[in-house]
A = this chain, B = another copy of it.
Amino acid sequence: MNIGQAAKATGLPPKTIRYYEDIDLVRPGRDANGYRAFCEADLHKLRFLGRTRALGFSVADCRALLALYEDDSRASAEVKAIAAKHLDAIAAKIADLKAMESTLSHLVATCAGDGRPDCPILEDLGG
């Protein structure tokens, strides 16, 4: 199976798949003509990576999770630790964004948004 087919099968762009090979996340074989040859196990890994990335894990975390996934003697505590830490990071980001949203929505609400120069948004930003 070519990279194009693998891309369709996994939902990842070909460029991304090449990149994942480049950083050794996946190691497809090669056909005689030099084309990458993806087997089912490769596709499975790629889908795994797609899901972990979609959950916002860093590539480093994805690598660690993949290694744990393939290690039958893993301790689930290791997995949970990575996930819990990421969950904290997500919560922190949400809090940051909510603070920005709160500030900004107040400002936007009070700005007339017409042709005049008076602007509470800029007044606030200017200090």
A positions within 8 Å CB-CB of B: 44, 47-48, 51-52, 54-56, 65, 68-69, 71-77, 79-81, 83-84, 86-87, 90-91, 93-94, 97-98, 100-101, 103-105, 107-108, 111-119, 121-122, 124-127
The reply to whether B44 and A127 contact each other, CB–CB distance below 8 Å, is yes
Smallest CB separation, A35 vs chain B (Å): 26
The reply to whether A80 and B126 contact each other, CB–CB distance below 8 Å, is no
The reply to whether B74 and A119 contact each other, CB–CB distance below 8 Å, is yes
**Across the interface, which residues of B come within 8 angstroms of A65, CB to CB?**
122, 125
Smallest CB separation, A6 vs chain B (Å): 15
Q: Which residue of B lies closest to A127 (CB)?
A: B47
